[in-house]
Structure 1
Amino acid sequence: MYAIVEIKGQQFKVSEGQEIFVHRLDAKEGDQVTFDKVLLLAKDDTYQVGQPTVEAKVNSTVLEHLKGDKVIVFKKKRRKGYRKKNGHRQSFTKIKIDSIA
């Protein structure tokens, strides 16, 4: 059984017991979070496709907050002496999918 759920503007294919990284959520570690925007629900060989959503909920637990790898943004224009270097680390939240109901 799996579901396609929208979390913070991104779509994820989730199943029970799975751990995924999503953009930073406003919840503390150990909190229970419920997602209502379920776009597709698949159980065995039956599928429910939402128009736009399905009447289902995905329950999850926040495991930890962390940052991703550093991404270097480097801009240069040749022969002009123009160089800009910038770095960025995205904030993520690791969640575990408890149940799909």
Structure 2
Amino acid sequence: MQVIQNKEASRFETSIDGETAFIEYVEKPGAVLLLTHTCVPRQIAGRGVGTKLVVETLELIRRLEFKIVPLCPFIVAYLKKTNDFQDIIAPKLH
């Protein structure tokens, strides 16, 4: 799965079988991204696309040297299951 950053739409996205799954974000000062929403179209749901999208997006964010604030419940739930991405979680914003 290849995830790209679509800066114009403020999201990370991938296309599968003609459908686009994505994670929306809000960019904050200091190279911080608020990850606000994950969307996997019904046509490609149930195949692990959401989890793969989260993993690939977090790896891309790491390479881009951003930090994240996970606000999307799906991403929060994933991060509770792994310690693989603790290094990119930003301190709480005030």
- What TM-score range do you get, normalising by the shorter chain? under 0.3
Which protein has the bigger helix share? Answer: 2
Superposition TM-score, scaled by structure 1 size: 0.24
